[in-house]
Amino acid sequence: MNIIVSVKQTFDTEAKIALNAEGKISDDGVTLVINPYDEFAVEEALKLKEKFGGEVTVVCAGGEKAQEAIRTALAMGCDKAVRVDISGLEDADEWVVAEVLAKAVSELPYDIVLSGRIAVDDGSSQVAVRLAEALGIPSVSSILKLEIEGDTATATREIDGGAEVIEVKLPALFTAQKGLNEPRYPSMMGIMKAKKKEIATKGLADIGFGEVPAAKMSAPKYSLPTSRAGGKMIPGDATEATKELARLLREEAKAI
C-alpha cells in the first residue's frame, strides 16, 4: 500500500506572535515544529504500513527550514520525502499550495493520502481538501477512525454533535482529527535512520509549472488583537460574590 502524508511546518503553539517592520508575522526566535495535526496523519500512515506493508512518502511544500519538519516525520518512520520549494511564493494562498502539492503527489503512486485536518498557524483547514479535489479523488475530513479492507476504506468522521461513518473507494484522502491515534515519539534509532533517508527537493519547474501560479486571495493584512480589558474581580465571600456575579451578568452584561 502506498501512502502519502502531506505535512506542513508551523510555529509551536506556545509561540509569541509579533509583526515585523513590513507588517508580516515575524518568525524571529520562534520554534518551528511539524503541524501537530499532521502528526496524527503520520501516525495513521505508519499504522497502515505496519498492517499492509508498502511505503510512506512525506510531501511538503515549504522552504529550506521545512526540512526539519520532514525529518521529524521520517524519524517517526516514514520512508522518504519530497519537498517542493515554494520559498519564492511570498503570498501563496490555499489554492496555490493545493495546486503545487497536487502536481507533486500526482507524480507518485498512492492509494491513500493523509494530512492533518487543520494547520495551527493559518487555521484555514483548506489545503488538504483542495488537494483531494485537485487530484480528483474523494476525501473524508476530520476522521477519528480508519479501517481499510481491500480497496474500500471505512472512516468515522466527526460532525457537529456526533459522528458519521463513511465508506469510500480508494484512492482517497483523509484529514486527521485529534483522537484518531496517539502519535509515537521518534526513537533514537529512528532519528539516526532519518538522517540517511532521501528528501527529494523539487522546484516548481521540476513538477511542471511553466509559470508561478497566481494566488486567488489578496495578500493578508495582519494585525494583533487588542487585549481584552478584563480583570474585574468580584470580592466578598462565596455567597456574596456569587450573588453579585449573577446580578452583573443579568444587569450589566445582559448575558443571562
Hey, which residues between 226 and 255 contact another protein (CB under 8 A)? 227-228, 230-234, 238-239, 241-243, 245-246, 248-250, 253, 255
Residue type, 174: F
Nearest distance, CB of residue 189 and another protein, angstroms:
28
165 binds another protein (CB under 8 A): yes
123 binds another protein (CB under 8 A): yes
Residues touching another protein: how many (CB under 8 A)? 80
**Binding flags for another protein, 13-32, as an x/- string (CB under 8 A):** xxxxx-x-----x-------
Spatial contact of 67 and 183, defined as CB atoms under 8 Å apart: no
Enclosing H/E stretch for 33:
strand 32-34
Spatial contact of 116 and 143, defined as CB atoms under 8 Å apart: no
Residue 153 has phi, psi (to 5 degrees) of -110, 140
Can you tell me the distance from the alpha carbon of 30 to that of 21, in angstroms, rounded to the nearest whole number? 17
Other Cβ atoms within 10 Å of 160 Cβ, number: 4
Can you tell me the distance from the alpha carbon of 40 to that of 183, in angstroms, rounded to the nearest whole number? 6
90, 161, 189, 210: which one binds another protein (CB under 8 A): 161
154 binds another protein (CB under 8 A): yes
By beta-carbon proximity to another protein, the closer residue of 68 and 151 is: 151
Nearest distance, CB of residue 194 and another protein, angstroms:
25
